[in-house]
Amino acid sequence: MSDGADHIAERKMQFLFALRSRGVTDARVLTAMERIDRGPFVRGYFAERAYEDMPLPIACGQTISQPSVVGLMTQALRLTGRDKVLEVGTGSGYQAAILSQLARRVYTVDRHRQLVREASAIFAALDLTNIVCLTADGSFGLPEQAPFDRILVTAAAEDPPGPLLAQLRIGGIMVLPVGQSDAVQQLIRVTRHETGYDYDELRPVRFVPLVEGLGRDG
């Protein structure tokens, strides 16, 4: 192996070690995160930091979440491999790409047309054919494709949005950050039952706010 290949292999090993040390222990999730390189999803000045466990800025004032949070959120969904998943907040596309390795089909929506365009190009280049990427107001979900087995929201709302709860299948799971400010947010898991919803608090997090409407570029 060349020095360059050695260097990349070493960085990937450190990357996986960082995920495990921060609580990402599900073997299937770790395999998916080993398979999907974060590199193509981080552009420009920050590309060199793609393998660090930190959030990084992307276009449209958004961020790509730190990999350990991506792993923990994916793990919390308890994916079976047969699930139809809705992701609200495509962003860079990295989270959807991870989900594509663990779900039957992934619908991912973003309010910024530019992000949808860029993420779709990466999905095509990586031959991820089970992702449908759309420009839409994610706070209303995707009623024409509901119900969903799993829903993942990558932006913080004060409370779980009613339309998303309604689009969750009985027995389904939604994972999302909730909180009234940028400073105080909690990652929660919502499980839908025939008689209502169970809520589990998972960990403190920081996400951009969930905003209604399409972005100005949309």
Active site residues: 65
DSSP characters over 41-56: GS-GGGGGGTTSSS-E
**Which residues, listed in sequence order, are joined to residue 56 by a DSSP beta bridge?**
64
Whether the bond into 147 is cis, omega within 30 of 0:
yes
Identify the CA nearest to 79 among candidates 189, 209, 200. 189
- Report which secondary-structure segment, H or E, holds 12: helix 3-21
Phi, psi of 47 (to 5 degrees): -55, -35
CA distance 26 to 47: 27
CA distance 20 to 67: 11
DSSP characters over 193-211: ETTEEEEEEEEEE--PBP-
CA distance 15 to 81: 24
Which tokens is 11 given? 């960085």
Intra-chain end-to-end CA distance of the chain, in Å: 45
